[in-house]
Amino acid sequence: MSKQYEFKASILPYLLVLPQMVIVFVFFFWPAGQAVLQSFYLQDPFGGKMIFVGFQNYSKLLADPDYWQSFSVSTAFAVCITLGAMAISLFLAIQANKKIRFASFYKTMLIWPYAVSTLVAGVIWLFMFNPNVGVIAYVLKHTFHVDWQYLLNFNQAFLLLTLAATWKQLAYNFVFFLAGLQSVPATLIEAAEIDGAKSGTRFWKIIFPLLSPTTFYLLVMNLVYGFFETFPIVHSITQGAPGKSTAILVYKVWRDGVINLDLGSSAAQSVILMLLVIMLTVFQFRFIERRVTY
């Protein structure tokens, strides 16, 4: 019976994969190759003049303290978002998974923010916290007498961006954690209860280890989100200000390339980001995945 499902012709599988490969080539390999190529040139935006400069675009970046500052801010940003969003959403998922009244109402409400686009999320937070027009900024200033001026205060700007980006990511994590929790066999927990395990022990010894595939998956997704998908939040709330302290790597690539038309440097930055993603992925799958029990 199984015989008829075998492909005899060796060309067919390649043909079947071809459409996918064409898409990957056109939308990934080709632009990536272009970026690598452009990163070795100094060029005028109209393409009239291209001067080969070798690794100068890279060496300039690596010698630029601003670039390293952007690097460390991006890392801190991604780590804060990942830790914050995962811890809070795990807590919420556990609470929502309990047998309580209106459980499905809470669940729906917690999943809702997922429908908000990242840019809109940024704008919502901007309108709440902008010192010129924000409602909460007004309360902070006039009721609590906080000197709220994130346009000039880096710590406040960083805090606001982290809060906004974390909030946006909560719903996504929540869905996965909730699903993970629901797939933990009730029999295991009941058995532990009978053996006298307290709720803390039950969580750390049984539920958390069983959740680890979900946690690992979310760790990867959250880091990628923090590094690469928070662009709209930075773009709408701080635009890299104050100074250039919150210009995270992806924001800087866009700013230098699209607004400032410094295509060589922008290309070099995106190549570095590309290497970073490759390294991150390899590292995670090689070293972390081994310790995860699926």
Partner 1 sequence: MKRVILLMAVLLMAVGAYAQTTVEFWHAMTGHNGEMVQAICDQFNASQKDYKVVPVYKGSYSDTMNAGIAAYRAGQPPAIIQVYEVGTATMMAAKNAVKPVYQLMAENNMKWDSSIYIPTIKSYYSTSDGRMLSMPFNSSTAVMYYNKDAFRKAGLDPEKPPVTWPEFFEVAKKLKASGMEGGFTTNWISWIQLENFSAWHNLPFGTRSNGFDGLDTQLVFNSPIHVRHFQNIYDLSKTGVFIYGGRENKANPLFTSGRVGMHFESIGGYGNMKATCKFDFGVARLPYYPDVPGAPQNSIIGGASLWVFNGKSKAEYKTVAEFFNFISQPETQALWHKETGYLPITQAAYELTKSQGYYEKNPGLEVAIKQLLNKAPTANSMGIRFGNFNIIREIEDQTWEEILAGKISVKDGLDKMVREGNKTLREFEKLYK
The residue ranges that bind partner 1 (CB under 8 A) are: 42-49, 51, 132-133, 149, 151-154, 239-244, 255, 258-262
| Angstrom distance (rounded) from CA 161 to CA 167 | 10
| Angstrom distance (rounded) from CA 281 to CA 294 | 18
Residues 6+ apart with CB under 8 A from 123: 236
Integer angstrom CA distances of residue 112 from 118, 167, 170, 180, 270: 13, 11, 10, 19, 33
Closest CB 293 distance from partner 1, rounded Å: 48
Q: Name the residue nearer to partner 1 (CB basis): 8 or 145.
A: 145
Closest CB 250 distance from partner 1, rounded Å: 17
CB atoms within 10 A of CB 272: 17
**Helix runs in 41-64, H state only:** 56-62
| Angstrom distance (rounded) from CA 138 to CA 267 | 41
Closest CB 214 distance from partner 1, rounded Å: 40
Instruction: Give SS3 for 52.
Output: strand
Q: Name the residue nearer to partner 1 (CB basis): 84 or 257.
A: 257
Q: Name the residue nearer to partner 1 (CB basis): 156 or 222.
A: 156
Structure tokens at 128: 């709440």
Closest CB 252 distance from partner 1, rounded Å: 11
Closest CB 46 distance from partner 1, rounded Å: 4
Q: Name the residue nearer to partner 1 (CB basis): 81 or 268.
A: 268
Q: Name the residue nearer to partner 1 (CB basis): 47 or 196.
A: 47
Q: Is residue 122 within 8 Å of residue 263, measured between CB atoms?
A: no
Place of tokens 């300039």: 60
Q: Name the residue nearer to partner 1 (CB basis): 67 or 106.
A: 67
Closest CB 227 distance from partner 1, rounded Å: 23
